[in-house]
Structure 1
Amino acid sequence: MIQPSPTAAVLLIGDELLSGRTRDINLQQIAKYLAPLGIQVHESRTVSDFQESIVKAVNELRAAYTYVFTTGGIGPTHDDITADAIAAAFGVGIDEHPEVIAMLAERYAEMKTEFTPARRRMARIPHGAQLVSNPVSGAPGFQMENVFTLAGVPQVARAMLEDIGPRLRTGAVVHKVTIRGLGLREGDIAEPLGALAQEIPEVAFGSYPWFRSVGDNGVHLVASTIREDLISEVTQRLEAIIAATGVKPERIVEDAK
């Protein structure tokens, strides 16, 4: 029996995200990292620095998806409560991890910086968790079963993914093609695009308009499928749909980074 492809959810934690003070890019970079592994992100949530909200979201998401990635709330300040929330979600205790204490003590000594009680908070790891290395700033993330807890700083979160990747079960890779039409309107292609989606159910089609100015607007048509053999045909069909409106189709090469 073929095992279904693994799925993922991303839980973004932090009052600064909900207030608008900080713009999140972690969802995008986690999804981009997982896509070539055949792991699709199916849901994203953003919650405040409130333990009950974090616990509720973690427990719901870890039951629904193969993997959950949390970002934020594992720093040295009073509102960094994610580690405590993860421990509560799994019903385990939390203490300073001796390996992390030793590593951080050495790191701060090298920087000639005091290893304060606040900084020691970053060594508090839920019981039974596996560490996730942080080659950027030292303080690690951790894994509890299918939940991976990452830092909120995008550069650090991205570096942590490299340690997580080999632990993940991979699935069928989704192949995509994007064709855009400058000046195209969704109403012009809605009917033929809908007919194409019914004709080829193995492919997911999406229509995404943009409008930057009067002269810079149009529609991106995106096709996604695990059937790589269908990509060539689908590309030609989408180009034909756009061309039939009198607009020149342009294929967009996605940034894989």
Structure 2
Amino acid sequence: MEHTSPTAAVLIIGDEILSGRTADTNLNTIARFLAALGIDLLEARTVGDRPGQIIEALNALRAAHDYVFTTGGIGPTHDDITADCVAEAFGVAIGERDDALAILERRYGDELNEARRRMARIPDGGVLIANPVTDAPGFQIGNVFVMAGVPRIMTAMLEDLVPRLRTGAVVHARTLRVTGVGEGAIAAPLAEAARASRDLSFGSYPFGAGSDGEVGTNLVVRGRDAAAVEAAVDALAAALGAAGISTSRQA
């Protein structure tokens, strides 16, 4: 099938992620955001606060994908180096921007110190990304969107990106829940369903045992043709039923 939807990558920046001090949730949030827009997230990388590594990864990703979303490293502290690295990757200068500084002045007033002024430094040619949580902006340059690492701030910034993105066909997803049997019992019917519908994606996600002691597998069928997804789910449920395995639809 011809691949016409936009593609994307995520670059997660921060020593705190690699050290395990902070658990990343931004990748999942961005993945769900992009899926709803029909944009295919094809790659994700995590790098530390090392300029060479950030620049190398950013240049590779922005050349390979329609969009790159970065998280982390745009705050007021000395190790917030993402903006400088992005400027270097694009070969442009970076400096304090009047519009970004005005936003920070309104936010902090007399408490706008030198450290906070760092957040007004934007690469030349960058377009600000609104931050409705703490006001300090992110920015877009070319096909790269540079956002905060704090999850609630990053999530809020995503809303400002929607009008800027070329969207693809929305991906439809349907889930069949199988309980009481493991993945091994359903492997053959699932493989046959995948062979029969090569334009769709079939995922198998085991669960259990939780507090209720239930063990089973969620089977997720995804595709851009809603009717094809529904038909594939019906066929898979019938095949499992014929093998004596009962299923239930999930919302």
What does the per-residue CA deviation read over 1:14-69, in whole Å, with 9 as the maximum and x for residues that have no partner?
A: 11111111111111111111212111211111110111111111111111111000
Q: Residue in 2 aligned with 1:30?
A: 30
**Aligned equivalents of 1:13 and 1:80: distance in 2?**
10
Report the more deviating stretch, 29-38 or 166-175.
Answer: 29-38
Per the alignment, residue 220 of structure 2 pairs with 222
The equivalent residue for 2:72 is 72
Equivalent residue number for residue 143 of structure 1: 140
Give the paired residue count: 249
Which residue matches 1:124? Answer: 121
Amino acid at match of 1:169: R
Indicate yes or no: 2:205 matched with 1:211: no
The farther-off stretch of 133-142 and 185-194 is: 185-194
How far residue 170 of structure 1 moved from its aligned partner, in angstroms, is 0.8
- Measure, in 2, the Cα distance between the counterparts of 1:245 and 1:208: 19
Give the stretch that moved more between structures: 188-197 or 61-70: 188-197
Paired residue for 2:235, among 234, 237, 242?
237
Amino acid paired to 1:159: A
Please give the alpha-carbon distance, in whole angstroms, between the structure 1 residues aligned to 2:243 and 2:14: 46
Query: C-alpha displacement at 1:3, in angstroms?
Result: 7.9
Q: Distance in 2 between matches of 1:217 and 1:122?
A: 49
TM-score under structure 2 length normalisation? 0.94
Q: Summarize the Cα distance change of 1:246–1:215 in structure 2 as closer, same or farther, 3 Å threshold.
A: farther
Whole-Å Cα distance in 2 between the matches of residues 205 and 227 of structure 1? 14
Are 1:115 and 2:115 counterparts? no
Q: Deviations over 1:98-139 (max 9, x none)?
A: 111122112111xxx521110011111011111111111010
Q: Indicate yes or no: 2:131 matched with 1:134.
A: yes
Unaligned runs of 5+ in 2: none
In structure 1, runs of 5+ residues without a counterpart are: none
Task: Tell me, in whole angstroms, the C-alpha distance in 2 between the residues paired with 1:212 and 1:72.
Answer: 35
Q: Are the counterparts in 2 of residues 183 and 215 from structure 1 also a CA contact under 8 Å? A: no
Preserved contact between residue 207 and residue 220 of structure 1 (Cα < 8 Å)? yes
Q: CA deviation at 1:161?
A: 0.8
SS across alignment from 1:16: helix
Partner of 1:97: 97
Structure 1 residues 219 and 3 mapped into 2: Cα distance closer, same or farther (>3 Å)? Answer: closer
Q: Percent identity over the alignment?
A: 53
- How far has the Cα of 1:91 moved from its partner? 0.8
Q: Which amino acid aligns with 1:145?
A: G
- The AA in structure 2 aligned to 1:243 is G
Which range is displaced more, 130-139 or 100-109? 100-109
Deviation at 1:191, TM superposition (A): 1.3
Residue in structure 1 matched with residue 17 of structure 2 by the alignment: 17
CA contact under 8 A between 1:6 and 1:40: conserved in structure 2? Answer: yes
* Separation in 2, partners of 1:118, 1:242: 61
Instruction: Provide the rounded CA distance (Å) in 1 between the counterparts of 2:15 and 2:250.
Output: 36
Q: Secondary structure at the match of 1:136?
A: coil
Shift of 1:245: 4.6
Tell me the amino acid that sits aligned with residue 234 of structure 2: Q
- AA aligned to 1:230 is A
Q: What residue is the counterpart of 1:252 in the other structure?
A: 250
